[in-house]
């Protein structure tokens, strides 16, 4: 077994790992990136990009179906599942290729294949062939989709989103378990492409929403198109006798059970960080109850050690922009250790590419109920009769915006509505710039645009900011969702 000595060892070559490697290398350090699986990020292989390719196909199919409402009659749509999936895989492979080009540009001496595990705080063993001694280590091992063991026993018809993008044709039916971003995006896309989809949600949560009024609106809007069973769990899954599908038994809030058959069951109930098999017990760092290293979110440092963590491995926000920022901070601090410095943490922004889209930014409603004791100003606008939304026949959804009494500083927003990906960016920039609500209302608004809805919500927010905080909308004024 050979021994390699480096300044910084990075475990993982995903978005966080590659960014950490680059950040450390830019400071002139000797860096080694260790990877046990295929090169290529979760985003490019099985996440952001292939899912958006499938969604784009679904949007095209939906546009044809919605055209008659405008007086446009293109005729019945024919969805070629093989062609849909061929484009998804082909374009996915193209995006992966760009990532691989980046990996290939890294010198061979800075890459090592194999599974790394700690055998001491600054020492890693990679498979049975190499010992790596590093002054600092960055853990960027990513995450894995959760599939309960009892579901796995039902065979390969129980899948995660990873498997969807390897399909060569669209199936006849899919049960989607989970109403998070992945479950909603794929469930709606498949349904729009002609697949019989039933989505099972153990509670009434939708994507990343926490505001009960926005959540209630999202539940209602999405249920108009999707077969969503809220407050319904999965009691049992089993392979059908002929092995061609899965028999899924669900149980609703009243305890009523129902068994249905699907070609596939898609587990979209969350992801777990890949930190359980890397020998953290020998790293001499403190772990939380999930086995994830406790760390400073501004420096990504684990305790006072020379170990840093970034990306999905830290079990915080499994989003590509967050992984990139954390990788940059972790890699830079690993190279500078012990001169550790806080890095730039941007305003949180999360988007679900459903239709209507869902976005949260800045402080969420739930966070404000804690940090501001439920006393913060709220403004809202319904997209139900908003001008541009109605023009496009996309007039559904709700935006709620939040601000601080006294300073009038804009704090965040939650919404489901048309073009939420763009509204989310606009509002996130205002939040990061620490703009006040009056300053935001001084900005230009064109006509007719979706952004006029933002102005309507901000105007209401401005009125509430002039009220006595004890009598202004806050947590007490919201009722729970359905």
Q: How far is 313 from 293, CA to CA, in rounded Å? A: 9
Q: How far is 227 from 257, CA to CA, in rounded Å? A: 17
The pLDDT score that the predictor gives to residue 36 is 94
The pLDDT score that the predictor gives to residue 480 is 42
Q: Is 92 exposed, middle or buried (0-12, 13-18, 19+ CB in 10 A)?
A: buried
The pLDDT score that the predictor gives to residue 92 is 92
- Dihedral of CA atoms 174, 157, 89, 312 in degrees, nearest 10, equals 90
What residue ranges of the chain have pLDDT lower than 70? Answer: 471-482
3-state secondary structure the chain: CEEEEEEEEEECCCHHHHHHHHHHHCCCCCEEEEECCCCCCHHHHHCHHHHHHHHHHHHHHHHHHHHHHHCCCCCCCCCCHHHHHHHHHHHHHHHHHHHHHHHHCCCHHHEEECCEEEEECCEEEECCCEEEEEEEEEECCCEEECCCHHHHCCCCCEECHHHHCCCCCCCCEEEEECCCHHHHHHHHHHHHCCCEEEEECCCCCCCCCCCHHHHHHHHHHHHCCCEEECCEEEEEEEECCCCCCEEEEEEECCCCEEEEEECEEEECCCEEECCCCCCHHHCCCCECCCCCECCCCCCCECCCCCEEECHHHHCCCCCHHHHHHHHHHHHHHHHHCCCCCCCCCCCCEEEECCCCEEEEEECCHHHHHHHCCCCCEEEEEEHHHCHHHHHCCCCCCEEEEEECCCCCEEEEEEEEECCHHHHHHHHHHHHHCCCEHHHHHCCCCCCCCCHHHHHHHHHHHHHHHCCCHHHCCCHHHCCCCC
The strand pairing partners of 177, in sequence order, are: 200, 267
Q: How far is 456 from 471, CA to CA, in rounded Å? A: 21
User: What are the tens digits of pLDDT across the range 342-388?
Assistant: 999 999 999 999 999 999 999 999 999 999 987 899 999 999 999 99
What are the tokens at 466? 């002039």
The pLDDT score that the predictor gives to residue 482 is 35
The pLDDT score that the predictor gives to residue 314 is 96
- The pTM of the full predicted model, rounded to 2 decimals, is 0.94
Q: How far is 77 from 406, CA to CA, in rounded Å? A: 55
The pLDDT score that the predictor gives to residue 479 is 43
Angle separating helix axes 15-25 and 81-104, nearest 10 degrees:
20
User: What are the tens digits of pLDDT across the range 286-338?
Assistant: 999 999 999 999 999 999 999 999 999 999 988 999 999 999 999 999 999 99
Name the nearest CA neighbour of 432 among 408, 411, 402: 411
């Amino acid at each position: 077994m050979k021994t390699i000595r480096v300044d910084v060892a990075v475990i993982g070559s995903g978005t966080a790992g590659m960014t950490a490697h680059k950040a450390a290398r830019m400071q002139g350090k000797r860096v080694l990136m260790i990877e046990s699986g295929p090169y290529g990020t979760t985003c490019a292989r099985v996440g952001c990009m292939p899912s958006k390719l499938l969604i784009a196909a679904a949007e095209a199919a939906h546009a044809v179906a919605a055209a008659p409402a405008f007086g446009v009659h293109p005729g019945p749509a024919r969805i070629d599942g093989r062609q849909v999936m061929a484009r998804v895989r082909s374009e996915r492979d193209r995006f992966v290729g760009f990532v691989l080009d980046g990996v290939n540009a890294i010198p061979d001496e800075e890459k090592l294949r194999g599974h790394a595990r700690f055998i001491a705080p600054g020492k890693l063993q990679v498979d049975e062939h190499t010992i790596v001694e590093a002054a600092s280590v960055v853990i960027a091992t990513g995450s894995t989709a959760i599939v309960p063991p009892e579901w796995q026993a039902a065979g390969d018809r129980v899948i995660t989103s990873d498997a969807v993008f390897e399909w060569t044709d669209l199936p006849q039916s899919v049960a989607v378990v989970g109403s998070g971003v992945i479950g909603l995006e794929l469930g709606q896309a498949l349904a729009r492409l002609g697949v019989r989809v039933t989505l099972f949600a153990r509670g009434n949560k939708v994507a990343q929403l926490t505001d009960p009024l926005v959540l209630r609106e999202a539940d209602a809007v999405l249920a108009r198109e999707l077969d969503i069973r809220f407050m319904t769990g999965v009691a049992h899954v089993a392979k059908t006798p002929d092995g061609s599908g899965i028999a899924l038994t669900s149980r609703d809030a009243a305890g009523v059970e129902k068994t249905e058959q699907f070609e596939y069951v898609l587990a979209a109930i969350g992801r777990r960080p890949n930190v359980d098999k890397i020998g953290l017990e020998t790293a001499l760092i403190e772990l939380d109850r999930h086995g994830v290293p406790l760390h400073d979110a501004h420096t990504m440092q684990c305790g006072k050690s020379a170990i840093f963590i970034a990306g999905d491995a830290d079990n915080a926000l499994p989003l590509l922009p967050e992984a990139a920022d954390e990788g940059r901070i972790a890699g830079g601090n690993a190279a500078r250790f012990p001169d550790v410095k806080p890095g730039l943490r941007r305003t949180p922004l999360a988007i679900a590419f459903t239709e209507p889209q869902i976005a949260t930014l800045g402080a969420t409603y739930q966070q404000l109920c804690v940090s501001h004791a439920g006393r913060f100003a709220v403004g809202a606008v319904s997209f139900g009769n908003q001008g541009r939304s109605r023009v496009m026949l996309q007039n559904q959804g709700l935006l709620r915006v939040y601000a601080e009494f006294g300073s009038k500083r804009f704090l965040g927003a939650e919404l489901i509505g048309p073009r939420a990906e763009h509204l989310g960016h606009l509002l996130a920039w205002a939040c990061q710039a620490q703009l006040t609500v009056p300053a935001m209302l001084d900005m230009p608004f064109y006509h007719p645009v979706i952004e006029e809805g933002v102005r309507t919500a901000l105007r209401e927010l401005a009125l509430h900011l002039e009220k006595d905080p004890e009598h202004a909308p806050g947590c007490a004024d919201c009722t729970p969702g359905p």
